[in-house]
């Protein structure tokens, strides 16, 4: 919390009370001032000294305060500290007409004489953005532009406007003008002004995918339909001095995520008619000035530029002073002996796309091919090894080709450590090749078929997953699209990204229904039901499973039918209808045996055991869990195995066999961490916490239960979160 001491004359007490009240709204600013802080008998000098230990001293200037020796002493001591430390401390609030002491002329100044409310707002905004001791939390911010010249005026204007809590500022202009570079430079240079900076690529992104990315960067998982998720995300951001940067906005999607509150938003877009920006003035972004063009060329080409001043001027004029054109031209001259300043000044192509096309045509064959492969990858950014596989390069070839692309400013580095890059929109437009779009879809589909073996990397490539899915849908390759989407859904469910899984399943259900593909529709009904169950929405989950059952019966789809029975039985068992659940599970078991589906059979055994366990028949439940364990080990079904271990541990805990239960929880945790199974890990920690409380280890119980509570909260699972909270309260009470 930032603190401020109000130095003032007693004649201004009424005004200072109003000022203090305005600053304290929201509870983020601690206001100290002598009328309220001094109790009878207090030492005036020592209390004022304590007040001067505040982060800032705000001098309320009026005729009486200017003549007050106490006020003079207060701001003089604060000025001395400011001079010693080099950190701004003294602020001036001009309340009533008077001559301001010369020594205060360099202080940050606020004029409150005509518009008191606006002055209060400006002071509050300044204090919140200049708070000390709280480092900015920056998530997934791309690397700073390697060369950034000029734009000091534009950066200062952005800082001034975004310093206002709740500000929405947009930078607009044609592609290549430098909007993204300006936003990125601002984010790096002034990140300390905010509690968190979040970079959200919006090119070709839906509101659901932007919301999912923001939730991921915030480290939270939200439940519910999209409108509910948007409301909660905006509520979280509105309460913090965050900066949200929506880059390359193409439609109204980003407008649905503007939080308001005290968060600020920066938008970059080439579109001039977006409704959510219509009533706002864009931040100015002129083309490069001639001096900025020269500065850029000097940084890229050295002082030799000054030998060709007139040719440079001609070149810059013909390039229209467009930043990307200047950048590509400098790279051509630096890297290719066929290009010189005088030569390019005489023969520069007529427009920027032609210049980029010429730069691409000047490449060797392999870099040209790699660039075409890159253009098929996700617009938000791609991994080099994926682009290399799309272009059928080995590692050495791809690195050599990348070097040429990078040296000519045709590709932008996001992370050298991860070898992750991105293309400028104009470069992508010129180099796009549908042949590589098809190849990209093939490569990504193949990768996601094996997502369980490499789930972390697949999670990082979800933007490419989406691009491949859209290609298949557009190409009417719907059968492969459903297969690909199924792999993506299972990954999203595994890592706890339920909202994205829900959105994906809804999209595929709609596609299946429009095609009359009932078998696919039934599968997506089942997938969606599990998301609803995770959110505690049992009636909706049961309705979808009943629809799936009807379709499976009509198609004589026995495998789909057994899954529907298992899902329905789980919901019935959760609501205490154990006999009805067991009846359905017997039907499921029979079908699994007929089909030879061992994986589903193992899951069925686990559900049966849970029914017995829920009906207080632990002995029978343990016997069936042992059958499930043996089958999971035989077929290598580790996800089912960890569930089996956790459920057995619960029974052992109830029987007082704590050491055996502890050993099983250790095995369960190891499997969950290996698989990235966040929901299952939360269950593991919650059950483990119950074990530790049962054997009197309250400190360990609190640790495990707190971890489970945090994870269930992040996953958006309210029923489980509430149950863990009850256990945590018991553990804390037992500890005390």
Q: What is the mean pLDDT of residues 105-120?
A: 84
Return the percentage of the chain with pLDDT > 90, whole number.
40
> 69 or 459: which carries more pLDDT confidence?
459
Residue 47: the pLDDT is 47
Mean pLDDT across 545-567: 94
Which span out of 170-184, 284-298, 396-410, 547-561 was modeled with the highest average pLDDT? Answer: 547-561
- Which of 136-145, 314-323, 560-569 is the least confident region? 136-145
CB burial readout 121-144, b (16+ within 10 A) else e:
bbbbbbbbbbbeeeebbbeebbee
In DSSP terms, 93 is beta-bridged to 60, 110
> What per-residue confidence (pLDDT) applies to 117?
80
Q: Which fold has domain 2-129?
A: Rossmann fold (3.40.50)
Q: What is the dihedral of CA 406, 412, 413, 419, to 10 degrees?
A: -70
Helix (H, G, I), strand (E, B), or coil: what is residue 572? helix
Under 8 Å between Cβ of 474 and 511: no
Residue 535 confidence class, pLDDT cut points 50, 70, 90: confident
Is the model's pLDDT at 70 over the cut of 70?
A: yes
* Arithmetic mean of pLDDT, 338-358: 79
Select the more confidently predicted residue: 730 or 349. Answer: 730
Higher-pLDDT residue of 25, 590: 590
Classify strands 196-201 and 242-249 as parallel, antiparallel or unpaired: parallel
Split at pLDDT 50, 70, 90, the class of 568 is very high
Return the minimum-mean-pLDDT range out of 141-145, 220-224, 606-610.
220-224
CA dihedral 665, 670, 672, 673 (to 10 degrees): 140
Query: Mind listing the pLDDT tens digit for each residue in 365-410?
Result: 999 999 999 999 998 888 999 999 999 999 999 999 998 888 777 8
Average pLDDT, the chain: 86
Q: Would 2-129 and 137-277 be classified into the same CATH topology?
A: yes
Residue 133 pLDDT class (50, 70, 90 cuts):
very low
- Residue 605 to residue 56: CA distance in whole angstroms: 66
Nearest by Cα to 589 from 616, 569, 615, 618: 569
Mean per-residue pLDDT for 216-242? 83
CATH 3.30.300.10 applies to domain 137-277: no
pLDDT at 627: 92
Establish how many alpha carbons lie within 13 A of residue 305's alpha carbon, considering only the half-sphere containing its beta carbon.
21
Please give the Cα distance from 639 to 680 (Å, whole number).
Answer: 9
* The pLDDT of residue 175: 72
Measured between alpha carbons, how far is 98 from 75 in angstroms, rounded to an integer? 17
The pLDDT score that the predictor gives to residue 38 is: 39
The reported pLDDT for the residue numbered 86 is: 64
Q: Where are the beta strands (DSSP E) in 194-352?
A: 196-201, 242-249, 264-269
Indicate the helix (H) or strand (E) that contains 60: strand 56-61
Strand residues in 416-557 grouped as ranges (E): 420-422
DSSP class of residue 140? S
Domain ranges of the chain: 2-129, 137-277, 290-361, 365-432, 645-736
Give the rounded percent of residues in the chain with a pLDDT score beyond 70.
93
Span of 26-40, 255-269, 695-709 with lowest mean pLDDT: 26-40
Q: Does CATH number 1.25.40.10 belong to domain 645-736?
A: yes
User: Which is more confident, 54 or 175?
Assistant: 54
pLDDT in tens, 408-461: 778 877 887 888 888 877 788 788 888 899 999 999 999 999 998 889 899 989
pLDDT digits 0-9 by tens, 467-522: 999 999 999 999 999 999 999 999 998 888 888 899 999 999 999 999 999 999 99
Higher pLDDT, 580 or 428: 580
Q: What 3-state class would DSSP assign to 131? A: coil
- Per-residue pLDDT at 220: 76
Residues whose CB is less than 8 angstroms from the CB of residue 651 and which lie 6 or more positions away in sequence, other chains included: 613, 618, 621, 622, 625
- The answer for residues whose C-beta is within 8 angstroms of residue 150's C-beta and 6 or more apart is 288, 289, 291, 292, 295
User: Which fold does the domain 365-432 belong to in CATH?
Assistant: Arc Repressor Mutant, subunit A (1.10.10)
pLDDT of residue 207: 87
Q: In Å, how far from its chain's centre is CA 711?
A: 17
């Amino acid at each position: 919390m930032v603190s401020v001491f109000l130095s003032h004359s007693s004649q201004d007490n009424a005004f200072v009370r109003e000022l203090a009240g305005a600053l304290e709204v929201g509870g983020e600013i601690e206001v100290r001032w002598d009328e309220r802080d001094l109790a009878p008998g207090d030492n005036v000098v020592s209390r004022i000294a304590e007040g001067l230990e505040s982060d800032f001293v705000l001098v309320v200037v009026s005729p009486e305060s200017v003549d007050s020796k106490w006020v003079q002493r207060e701001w003089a001591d604060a000025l001395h500290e400011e001079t010693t430390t080099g950190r701004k401390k003294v602020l001036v609030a001009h309340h009533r007409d008077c001559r301001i002491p010369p020594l205060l002329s360099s202080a940050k100044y606020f004029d409150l004489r005509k518009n008191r409310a606006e002055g209060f707002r400006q002071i509050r905004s300044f204090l919140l953005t200049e708070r000390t001791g709280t480092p900015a939390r920056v998530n997934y911010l791309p690397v700073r532009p390697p060369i950034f010249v000029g734009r000091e005026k534009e950066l200062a204007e952005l800082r001034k406007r975004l310093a206002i809590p709740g500000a929405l500022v947009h930078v607009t202009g044609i592609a290549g003008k430098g909007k993204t570079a300006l936003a990125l430079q601002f984010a790096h240079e002034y990140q300390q002004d905010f509690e968190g900076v979040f970079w959200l690529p919006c090119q070709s992104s839906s509101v659901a995918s932007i919301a999912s990315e923001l939730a991921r960067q915030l480290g939270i998982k939200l439940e519910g339909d999209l409108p509910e998720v948007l409301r909660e995300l905006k509520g979280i951001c509105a309460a913090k001095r965050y900066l949200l940067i929506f880059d390359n906005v193409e439609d109204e999607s980003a407008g649905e995520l503007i939080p308001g509150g005290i968060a600020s938003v920066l938008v970059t877009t080439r579109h001039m008619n977006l409704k959510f920006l219509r009533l706002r003035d864009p931040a100015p972004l002129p083309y490069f000035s001639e001096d900025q063009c020269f500065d850029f060329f000097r940084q890229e080409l050295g002082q030799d530029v000054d030998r060709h001043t007139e040719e440079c001027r001609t070149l810059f004029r013909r390039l229209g002073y467009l930043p990307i054109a200047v950048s590509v031209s400098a790279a051509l001259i630096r890297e290719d002996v066929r290009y010189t300043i005088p030569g390019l000044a005489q023969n520069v192509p007529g427009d920027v796309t032609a210049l980029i096309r010429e730069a691409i045509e000047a490449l060797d064959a392999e870099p040209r091919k790699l660039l075409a492969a890159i253009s098929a990858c996700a617009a938000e950014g791609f991994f080099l090894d994926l682009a290399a596989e799309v272009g059928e390069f080995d590692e050495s070839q791809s690195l050599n080709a990348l070097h040429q692309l990078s040296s000519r400013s045709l590709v932008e580095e996001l992370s050298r450590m991860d070898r992750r890059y991105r293309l400028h929109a104009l470069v992508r437009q010129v180099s796009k090749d549908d042949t590589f779009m098809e190849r990209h879809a093939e490569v990504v589909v193949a990768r996601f078929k094996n997502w369980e073996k490499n789930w972390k990397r697949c999670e990082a490539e979800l933007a490419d997953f989406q691009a491949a899915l859209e290609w298949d849908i557009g190409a009417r390759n719907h059968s492969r699209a459903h297969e690909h989407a199924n792999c993506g859904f299972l990954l999203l469910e595994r890592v706890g990204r339920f909202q994205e899984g829900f959105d994906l399943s809804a999209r595929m259900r709609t596609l299946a229904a429009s095609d009359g593909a009932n078998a696919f529709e039934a599968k997506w009904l089942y997938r969606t039901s599990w998301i609803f169950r995770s959110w505690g929405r049992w009636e909706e989950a049961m309705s979808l499973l009943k629809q799936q059952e009807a379709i499976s019966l009509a198609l004589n789809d026995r495998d789909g039918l057994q899954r529907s029975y298992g899902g329905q039985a789980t919901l019935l068992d959760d609501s205490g209808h154990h006999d009805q659940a067991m009846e359905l599970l017997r039907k499921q078991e029979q079908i699994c045996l007929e089909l030879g589906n061992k994986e589903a059979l193992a899951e069925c055994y686990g559900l049966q055991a849970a029914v017995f366990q829920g009906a207080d028949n632990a002995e029978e439940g343990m016997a069936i869990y042992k059958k499930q364990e043996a089958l999971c080990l035989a077929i290598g079904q580790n996800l089912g195995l960890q569930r089996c271990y956790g459920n057995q541990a619960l029974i052992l805990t109830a029987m007082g066999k704590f050491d055996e239960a502890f050993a099983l929880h250790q095995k369960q945790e190891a499997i969950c961490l290996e698989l990235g199974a966040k929901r299952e890990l939360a269950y593991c920690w919650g059950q483990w916490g119950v074990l530790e409380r049962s054997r009197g280890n309250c400190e360990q119980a609190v640790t495990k239960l707190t971890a489970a509570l945090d994870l269930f909260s992040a996953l958006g699972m309210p029923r489980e979160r509430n149950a863990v909270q009850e256990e945590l309260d018991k553990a804390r009470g037992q500890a005390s």
